[in-house]
Amino acid sequence: MKHPEPTQTPTEPTTARPLSGAEIIVRVFADEGVDVIFGYSGGAILPTYDAIFVHNRDNPDRPMPLIVPANEQGAGFMAAGYARASGKVGVCVVTSGPGATNTVTPVRDSLADSVPMVVICGQVPTAAIGTDAFQEAPVAALMGSVAKHVFLVTDPTLLEATIRTAFEIARTGRPGPVVVDVPKDVQNWQGSYAGKGTLPIPGYRKRLAVVNENELSADSARRFLDLLAAAERPLIYAGGGVVNAGAAAALTAFATAFNIPVVTTLMGIGAIDTMSPLSMRMLGMHGAAFANYAVEDCDFLIALGARFDDRVAAVPSRFAPRAKSIAHFDIDVSEINKVKRVDFHHVGPLATALETIVREGRGRAALPDYASWNAHCAELRSRHAMDYDRASPLIQPYYVIEEINRHTKGRAIIATGVGQHQMWAAQYFDFGGPRQWLTSGSMGTMGFGLPAAIGAQFAHPDTLVIDIDGDASIRMNLGELETVTTYDLPVKVVVLNNFGDGMVKQWQKLFFKGRLSASDKSLHKKDFIRAAQADGFRFAKRLEHKADVPRIVEEFVNFEGPAFLEVFIDPEACVYPMVGPGQSYDEMITGDHIVGRSEPGAVKPPDSSEMF
C-alpha cells in the first residue's frame, strides 16, 4: 500500500545552536512536508506557537501558515478535511486541558474513517502532571481509546524521534490519528537536532511489513479468476479503503477490464466516477434503490476496502442473499470474516492486487461476458431511478442539489454536515474522482461540514469547495463562518433549512408515531443571513421561492469569494430510499416517487437493541 511521502528535503542534521523542543517540533513538521497547521493557542502550547511564528518569518519560501479557528474542534475537523482532500497527514496543534479535550471528537471521527492526522497537545510541565494543575487533562488516558496511537513525551531527548514516528504511524497501514502530548518543559528544553531517526516500534513495523509485502500471487489471482469465471452476475462493493489506498484508478481499470458494475459505500463515493456506465452509485441504508437491488441480484460479491458495516449489512445473513461466493480485499486483517464469511480474501496492497488480477485475466483465452448482467443493471438504474415530487410548489432539497450539480459537473469538492442533507448530497451529486467527497461516515458527527470544507480549501486552493449543511448541523460549528472570511477563502456554504433535526424527525415519524421529542427544538429564530453577514460574507442570500432556484444558485456558485446560501426547503422532505434498522434490502422503503419492486409493507419499528 503506497502512501504520500514527505515532500520537503530533510533539514541538515547539524545546527549552529541548540534548539528548543518547540523548535524541534516545527523542524520535523518542515521535514514531513507540512504546509498548513490548524490550531488554537493557550499557555501550555505557547512555545510551539512562537516557534511556528519564527519559522514562518525566517522561511518565507516554505511557510506553514497557522490557521486559527473558532475552537479546537474546528481545528481538528479542518486538519481532517485537509487530510481527506489531499491524502496527506493533517496537523492540529492545541493547548492543554480544554484545548486537548475539544479535539477528542475529531480524533475519534478520524479513527473511525481512517483519516491520517497528527495532533500535538500542549501539557502542563512534567512535574505538575497528576496534580490537577491549571488546564491539566489526562490526554493519554482520554485519547488512548479513540486514537490510532498516543505518545506522552517525558524524555525531551526522544521528542524529535517521537514526532517523526507519529507521522509514520498516521500515514501507514490503515491510516489514523496520532496524538502527541508534549509538556511545556519539554517544549522549552534545549538540545541538538539530528534531522533523522524514529522510535523503535518493531512490532508495528513488522506487522506493517507483512501486510505491505503480501503481494497477490499469480496462483491466488487465478483462484479469484476461477470464481469470477463461474459467476454470471458479479458486483464490486467498494469502500473508503479504495480511496485511502490510492487505488481508485486501479479499481476503474479492474471494473472496466472485466465489465463489472460497482456500488460504493458512503465513504467510497468517488472511488469510481459516478457518471461511469459501470457506476451503480451508493448502496446501504439510504443507498439508491437500484444499487441495493443489484446487491440483491448479484451472484459474486467483490468487497474492496469495505467492512460490511451496519449501514450496509444491517442483517449480515440476508446481505447479498444470492451471492454464491464473496471475495474480500482489505489492508486490515481484522476486517476479514468479522461480519460476513467470505470465500476468498487478500490482505495487502489493493492497487497492485487488482493490477495482478487484470494482468492474469488478460492471459486467459477468453474473459467472461457480462453483457446481460450489465443490461440488467442498466434496467435497474432506469426503472428504479432516484426521483422526488418535482411538481411540488415547495423547494425540494433534491432540486437544489441537482441545480448546484448542473454547474459543478462532478468537479467540486463537497463537504457535508450530518443528517438528511448529507444523504441527499451523497445521492444527487456527481463525483468524477476520489477525495472530492468529505463527510463524517462512521461517527456521523454534526458540525463536521464547515470546518472540513475549510481544510479542503487549504489543500486545494483553486478548487471549488462547497459545504452542504443543515440548519441543526451547522449550528454545531457556526463560529467557523468567521474563519472562512478571515482567511478570505472562496468556500461556498449551503444551509438546507427545515427548522430542526430532519433525520431525527424522519425516524420519529416512522418509528415513534410522530412524537417529535426535542427534534425541532423550536429553533426557528436564527437569522442565518444576518449571522453570515456579521461574519463578513458579502454574498449571503436566502432562497424562499422555487422559481428563484436556478438564478440564485448560479449567482452563488459563480460568486468570487466566500458565499452563503440559506434555502427554506420543504420541511416534510424525507430521505428515500431507506432500509429500516434491522431490515434487509427486500424491505426497503422507496417512498412515493421512487419505484420499488413491490408494494411496501408495514413499517417495522426497531426493537430496543437496534441502533439509530
Helices (H) and strands (E) in the chain, counts: 23, 20
488 and 67 in contact (C-beta within 8 Å)?
no
Q: What gap in Å lies between CA 488 and CA 490, rounded to an integer?
A: 6
> What type of residue is 369?
D
Q: What angle do CA 271, 276, 279 make, to 5 degrees?
A: 60
Task: Please indicate whether residue 135 is annotated as part of the active site.
Answer: yes
Helix (H, G, I), strand (E, B) or coil at 264: strand
Using the structure block, give the residue that is written with the C-alpha cell 480524533.
107
| Whole-number Cα distances in Å, 281 to 207, 271, 287, 323, 397 | 34, 10, 8, 19, 19
Set 64, 386, 423, 503: catalytic member: 503
* Signed CA dihedral, 23, 24, 27, 33: sign only: negative
Chain-centroid distance of CA 583 in Å reads 26
> What type of residue is 507?
W
534 and 526 in contact (C-beta within 8 Å)?
no
509 and 533 in contact (C-beta within 8 Å)?
no
Burial code of 513-543, b = ≥16 C-beta within 10 A, e = fewer?
Answer: eeeeeebbeeeeebebbebbeebebebbbbb
Using the structure block, give the residue that is written with the C-alpha cell 444491517.
314
Give yes or no for a cis peptide into 490 (omega within 30° of 0).
no
Set 134, 190, 379, 409: catalytic member: 134
Residues in CB range of 375: below 8 A, 6 or more apart: none
Using the structure block, give the residue that is written with the C-alpha cell 419492486.
597
* Signed CA dihedral, 267, 268, 271, 273: sign only: negative
Give 264's strand partners: 238, 282
419 and 470 in contact (C-beta within 8 Å)?
yes
Task: Please indicate whether residue 572 is annotated as part of the active site.
Answer: no
Residues in CB range of 328: below 8 A, 6 or more apart: 303, 335, 336, 337, 340, 342, 344, 345, 346
Kindly state the helix (H) or strand (E) to which residue 112 belongs, with its residue range: helix 104-112
Set 72, 335, 360, 566: catalytic member: 72
Which strands, in side-by-side order, build the sheet including 66-67? Answer: 66-67, 37-40, 90-94, 117-123, 177-183, 149-152
> Which cell is 472 given?
441543526
Set 136, 160, 168, 184: catalytic member: 184
Task: Please indicate whether residue 190 is annotated as part of the active site.
Answer: no
Q: What gap in Å lies between CA 552 and CA 543, rounded to an integer?
A: 8
Give the phi and the psi of residue 284 in degrees, each rounded to 5.
115, -160
- The residues carrying an active-site annotation are 72, 134-135, 184, 503
